[in-house]
Amino acid sequence: MTTTAPSARTSVDEVALDLVFQLMAGTYRSPSEALRNDVDASAFGEAVAALADRLDLPAPELASPPWATLQASYVDLFVSSGSGVAAPPYVGYAIDDELMGPSTQLLGAAFADHGIALCDDWHDLPDHVAAVAEGGLHLVRAGRAQAAFDLLEGFVAPWFERFASAIATKDVSSFYGPVSRFLHDAIREVTRENRS
């Protein structure tokens, strides 16, 4: 990972950051009843529409695939696949090409500096994109929008740069692909706006 000198920044759009991290946390954790309920009750689609409106982006058309298809697609895209996983769900892997590499250590130190730790019931690697999104959401809601923005720009954006297209290409559920492309566009817009 390369580091650059901090640039002059305008104020961070906390509403957009909150929505990005909410959608990421819901999308990339193992599909649970919470996601199912949010999709069925249109809460997920409403959050997508709110973010699209906020950033002046086109909202993707979201499919409501059968629950078993969504679960199988998640496993195929992010966990285990005979044809290869499209996107290992670890932000450090996207940067370092290895699990638990230097970027994961930097991320852990950044979270520790802000008093963020994994829950005892978390059973995956600490740089899982859903866990990172939860940390980012916590930062935004604790009034640390700049730290959340730095997390998005430094750790999350590289994961989307590397894997969003692969997810869209391999997704058979018509859910993960459109959401990943949309979040990739949203992250680009949030980070672009903050640099201008």
- Summarize pLDDT for 104-149 with one digit per residue, the tens: 888 888 877 777 766 666 566 778 899 899 999 999 999 999 999 9
Give the other-Cβ count within 10 Å of 80's Cβ.
Answer: 9
Give the other-Cβ count within 10 Å of 93's Cβ.
Answer: 23
What is the pLDDT confidence band of residue 195, given thresholds at 50, 70 and 90? low
**In the chain, how many H helices and how many E strands?**
10, 0
Q: Do residues 141 and 18 lie in contact, with contact meaning Cβ atoms separated by under 8 Å?
A: yes
In the predicted model, is pLDDT for residue 8 greater than 50?
Answer: no
Q: Give residue-wise pLDDT tens across range 68-102.
A: 998 999 999 999 888 888 999 999 989 998 888 88
Question: Which residues face 90 on adjacent strands?
Answer: 128
User: Can you give the C-alpha Rg of the chain in angstroms?
Assistant: 16
Q: Give residue-wise pLDDT tens across range 137-181.
A: 999 999 999 999 999 999 999 999 999 999 999 999 999 999 999
Q: Quick one: which of 49, 73, 76, 74 has its CA closest to 61?
A: 49
Q: What element of type H or E holds 189?
A: helix 176-195
CATH number of 14-195: 1.10.3480.10
What local confidence, expressed as pLDDT, does residue 4 receive? 38
pTM exceeds 0.85: yes
What local confidence, expressed as pLDDT, does residue 59 receive? 93
